Chains A and B, each alone.
Chain A
């Protein structure tokens, strides 16, 4: 099985990189993607590392690229969707990219600023035009239009008198006109009235179209107002109030001719502005279009460069030899590829002296690497969500490929829905190379797409479990003919047409009557149960027992998988002191429960249905050691149960104390007796590289055997009994409580399958009208 069964074998290597070709070599290693660098400068501050300036440059470029991307998105320019994977640029190319980016940024910001200014100008001119147009209606024309207004005498008080006529009165009439936001106009009017005590006259009218507010950019409604006032002081007050309310004030023309001139002038200016604005926007779009072609390439290049400098910071610089030293964890199988990558990097940079790699022994625990393909990576991710396994531990993921979808299907259990799910996943899988599906930015779709194989497995298993539950869109299929026969109740039972059928709304078939029950349905649940009113009584019992059986099997399988771990790490004593008590505890209690369930299914039939025992009561009595109240399931049951409980209870202290005591005895007393044996073992292990791994694992338990270099008989072990005991007691408590609670939690298989069927039934009856 290779890599999926347990994690890869790793080795620690030392890389010697010439400083000239360091960048290229690391670029090659990055493309290969199989090594992990160790930090050789852990005490050095981030800001004092060697390549800080280059990193800062990369971050500056990232900032500019971020700004570019935002502007491109704001202008709604489509970005190329293809997959780009450029290599990291050489340092000499970096300057070119940097300069390009900076130029683009300057250009963009300048053009954007200009555009904003132009737009502000345009807004002002538009407002002015509106104002002039509307205030024209306020002004009372000269006498030639007099008769028209005489019909509406109430307009007299509202309209403004012409400037010339006012002059005759000897007063100085002033005008202030402008625009104000619609929501402020009432407050404005009230304020004017209170302050100026009626010496001003305000008339206003709303503009029909929405104008863009320059500050917020949102379309707002504005109102054009015209204030006429009498006297200089009032004028000052009015001006102050206008400032307060953020009005845009524009000069009011004194005569009609002046007004017409201004209007003409404004019109031409607006037209010019429109043209200029158009051109600016076109230019901006052009610049962004050109940038959008290569922006993703740049983004990836800058990211790769940043990563390379980050890695270079982790290496230690050997000044005397002018080369960089890096320590790297590498899978043993990939060592030739590593060497080739280094040669390639050296060749690309044109170095005369090649960089090389050296394998070194190590005490530390290597990282865990598990190689997955597109199918297995989804399941591996699910497993790793609970925790990453230790180095060379057995990997639960290959079994999860089947058990996870299977347990989902037990809860889902509908043939029709399973078919739909499987088809949807099949479509995703068949079109997985389609660019649009792979590279959308929609988060929810990406989640489904990443899990397409998982959903496919879940759908296929759901088809099977739906078949067994006999549930297709919450209706049953009758493929083989039901095992229950109604006719027999009439023939051999005591049902009659007139009395029994007409007087009773519900009648129960009796399996004791011959001919009623003709054998179990060959594939799954009998279809008659879908029509029965006591369907749930039967199904609940069946599904709960099924959940317990599936749960105990699953848990035992998991415990048994531990055998591989104990054997691999050479700790045979774990088999007897840990695995055996664990299995005994689980099987003596819950395995016996499974046995009782199956025994009751096989041994009790409708004949003794009156005396059929409740398994739950028997199970509880087992713990309380009472066997008297209820008749036994089988002869000798009481004795057997006592025996099993005693074994289970005894296995707990063995689990708790066995391993610590044994290791303590090995460390202290046993050394003399089996010192020879251990010496022999040590010599034998000398030749294997795995000695380092042995030590790594023994360090976990707190015992360290002697070191490799000397062959001293003395062992300087630090065996911390307290630590070991604490660890083991936590494990014992967790295991025992976990057995009970996890078994109970498997009942969710029952609960969810029940919920699914009922929910769909309710949906169809409520939403779909027959």
Chain B
């Protein structure tokens, strides 16, 4: 679980949505729509981050693998790394 292939995406996405939800709101200029825009940014960041997180956590420890047809296996053996 501490494999690099998990840590890098985790930190990149957390940083990305963290900036959008936590840092950008401070830079929105004052005006009548400031409140709405800040709400939108924070909610977007939370929703999208949560959605991505669920997707990656669900695949972290798979309990079973994909069942492939033998032609697919044959193709993948030669063409996928």
Contact = CB atoms under 8 A, between A and B. Distances in A.
Interface of A: 1-2, 4-5, 373, 376, 398-399, 401-403, 406, 410, 464-465, 468, 481-487, 490, 501-502, 504-511, 516-526, 528-529, 531-535, 537-538, 541-542, 545-546, 549-550, 553, 598, 601-606, 609, 612
Counting chain A CB atoms within 10 Å of each CB, the highest count among B48, B73, B77 belongs to: B73
Interface string B49-81: 011101111111111111111101110110011
B21 to A, nearest CB: 11
A1 to B, nearest CB: 3
Contacts of A468: 51-52, 55
B70 A505 contact: yes
Contacts of A606: 61-64
A102 B63 CA distance: 83
Contacts of B80: 482, 485-486
B67 A532 contact: yes
15 contacts: A410-B51, A481-B81, A482-B80, A490-B77, A505-B69, A509-B66, A520-B9, A520-B56, A522-B9, A528-B68, A534-B67, A542-B59, A546-B58, A604-B61, A605-B62
Nearest to A517: B62
A514 to B, nearest CB: 13
A482 to B, nearest CB: 7
Contact of A549 (B44, B54, B56): B54
A540 B6 CA distance: 23
Nearest to A508: B67
A754 B6 CA distance: 27
A2 B39 CA distance: 12
Given A2-B32, A508-B65, A519-B5, 7 more contacts: A376-B36, A401-B40, A484-B66, A531-B66, A534-B66, A550-B50, A604-B61
A54 to B, nearest CB: 40
Nearest to B42: A402
Contact of A528 (B51, B52, B66): B66
A211 to B, nearest CB: 67
Contacts of B6: 519-520
A534 B44 CA distance: 33
B70 A501 contact: yes
B43 interface: yes
A402 B44 contact: yes
B63 to A, nearest CB: 4
B63 A535 contact: no
Contacts of A506: 67-70
A502 B73 CA distance: 11
A509 B43 contact: no
B55 A542 contact: yes
A4 to B, nearest CB: 6
Contacts of A376: 36
Contacts of A545: 54, 58
Nearest to B61: A605
Counting chain A CB atoms within 10 Å of each CB, the highest count among B48, B60, B64 belongs to: B64
Contacts of B52: 468, 523-524
Contacts of B19: none
Contacts of A605: 61-63
Contacts of B22: none
Given A490-B77, A533-B69, A550-B50, A612 B63 contact: yes
A508 B64 contact: yes
Contact of B59 (A398, A464, A516, A520): A520
Nearest to B62: A511
A508 to B, nearest CB: 4
A521 B59 contact: yes
B15 interface: no
A606 B59 CA distance: 11
Nearest to A518: B5
B57 A598 contact: yes
Contacts of B56: 520-522
A502 B71 CA distance: 10
A765 to B, nearest CB: 16
A511 B66 CA distance: 9
Contact of B66 (A529, A542, A603, A604): A529
Nearest to B1: A602
B46 to A, nearest CB: 9
Nearest to A402: B43
8 residue pairs, one from A and one from B, having the closest CB atoms: A1-B35, A519-B5, A532-B66, A509-B65, A522-B9, A605-B61, A402-B43, A520-B59
Contacts of B68: 486, 506-509, 528, 531-533
Nearest to B57: A601
A509 B1 CA distance: 20
Given A482-B80, A523-B52, A601-B60, A4 B36 contact: yes
A30 B38 CA distance: 34
